[in-house]
Chain A
Amino acid sequence: MHYHWNWRIYWQQSPDGSGTYLHTLFVGLGWTLALALLAWAIALLLGIVVGVIRTTPLRWLERIGNAYVELFRNIPLLVQMFLWYFVMPELVPTALGDWIKQMPPPWGAFVPAVLCLGTFTSARVAEQVRAGINSLSRGQGMAGTALGLTLPQTYRYVLLPMALRIIVPPLGSEFLNIIKNSAVALTINVVELTASARAMQEYSFQVFEAFTAATVIYLLVNLVVVLLMRLIERKIAVPGLIGPSGGPAPAGH
């Protein structure tokens, strides 16, 4: 075979002047995590709001919620990245568009990437939130009304605290998804982990060493998140319920 392995490549200096190749990869990991965490905050916030309005008795609110979810589910993430990065700044007023485009790197690409990942994942979180609320017995909502709570109060004090605890496991897998999906941001020049591995390949020509390192790092991150999730799930599980079940996985990543 014509491929020359060189596992010591990680400790060689990268030509971008920041340090060794290994250092470049860890900087990439940092961006991956920053991207995933910020987008996750947006996804949770928007997802809970949209999920809730899809379960309210108000039909028009429910329709808006449904339209929101369909919009983000039926366009590929890559295309959504392009919409946020290339299209959005041209459609807003020129001054704002220019301000967005001239944000110093990496923010000019990082901010659209966070917004894109956040909204994309929020549609998926909304699905989980809705399923969680719908899984509660109808009596709970009625009990709230009977106590004289308003609709928002019923959600705030009765439905949401239960629903959110129930959906912790599926939310955990959505968090794993957001880490993986953040790699799509490399198409708009965010130098996250996969992009750092690709850059390492371009500079050093050591294709497989670069991708092996990235793969191992992703697996380790995954492992850490899974362990953390297990801890959280145990802490937060609703007493008296059967608990994490192995139901059919929904389609998706």
Chain B
Amino acid sequence: MFSGFDFNVIERSWRYLFFDGMEFTLRLTLFAMAGGVVFGTLLAMMRLSSIKPLAWIAGTYVNVLRSVPLVLVIFWFYFLVPYMGAWVVRSDTPIHVGAFASCLLTFTMFEACYYCEIMRAGIQSISRGQVSAGYAIGLNYWQTMGQIVLPQAFRNMVPILLTQTIVLFQDVSLVYVLSITDFVGAASKVAQRDGRLVEMYTFVALIYFISCFALSLLVRKLQARIAVVR
């Protein structure tokens, strides 16, 4: 079936594919996960807050970002972030924001909406009695959240948070639309230059499949273990 195809193209370019492309993809995934979980948790706390405007702002933010395609959000941020930066530092010319920083901000802000919904469910799964107990022994809101509610919510939600991270890892491929060199971007640049689309894209699909499948098996194992501990 693969006669006439030249798989050497992978051998010739693997260093570029992995050390430039995959490195960018992994770096972006990990940083965006960290940022997304932190910001997502804050959003979840805002959504569950008794202060109505806070809950409204967070709710609208999450709903709006969940209603538009990620591709469109990527375009928005790539072109808009430097203007926002200029507005923040009161500069009259747009400030320089690199491709990585811009993508990181995009994915952090976007994925935070999904992490937010997961963390919200996690927080809601903690019994109200625990919160009351926290206040009863004199802890304030931040102490109750930080020392009692969030650690448990986080632990309960670890498997779903990780599954969402696998989705994020796959989503990062969409920076291709900006011609940025992530794993897919690197592969497509080589593929188009050498006219080897079939070989390259098959290889890319295989690498994604193996890594995502292995990760999801790990998550499932973890889930089973956590279920026992609970």
Contact = CB atoms under 8 A, between A and B. Distances in A.
Chain A in direct contact with chain B (Cβ < 8 angstroms):
yes
Interface of A: 1-3, 70-71, 73-80, 82-83, 86-87, 90-91, 176, 180-184, 186-187, 194, 197-198, 207-208, 211, 214-215, 218-219, 222, 247-253
Q: Is chain A's binding surface mostly helix, strand, loop or mixed?
A: helix
Contact of A215 (B68, B173, B176, B184): B68
Contact of A194 (B72, B188, B201): B72
A251 B164 contact: yes
Interface residues of B, number: 51
Contact of B201 (A2, A82, A247, A253): A82
Most B C-beta atoms less than 10 A away, residue of A91, A183, A211: A183
B211 to A, nearest CB: 8
B71 A184 contact: yes
Nearest to A3: B83
Contacts of A208: 79-80
B121 A214 contact: no
A249 B198 contact: no
21 contacts: A2-B94, A70-B213, A75-B212, A82-B188, A82-B201, A90-B198, A91-B1, A181-B69, A182-B69, A187-B177, A194-B72, A197-B75, A198-B75, A208-B79, A248-B118, A251-B114, A251-B161, A251-B164, A251-B166, A251-B167, A252-B163
B44 to A, nearest CB: 12
A87 B201 contact: yes
Contacts of B174: 76, 78, 184
B117 interface: yes
Given A1-B83, A76-B170, A80-B205, 11 more contacts: A70-B213, A75-B208, A78-B176, A79-B201, A79-B204, A83-B202, A184-B69, A186-B177, A215-B68, A248-B122, A252-B114
Contacts of A77: 170
Nearest to A252: B167
Nearest to B80: A208
Contacts of B75: 194, 197-198, 211
A122 to B, nearest CB: 17
A76 B198 contact: no
A74 B215 CA distance: 10
B121 A253 contact: no
Given A74-B209, A186-B177, A248-B160, A218 B68 contact: yes
Nearest to B87: A1
Nearest to B159: A251
B131 interface: no
A114 B93 CA distance: 43
A94 B73 CA distance: 39
A186 B71 CA distance: 9
A57 B48 CA distance: 43
Nearest to B208: A75
Contacts of B122: 248
Interface in B93-130: 93-94, 114, 117-118, 121-122, 125
Contacts of A181: 69
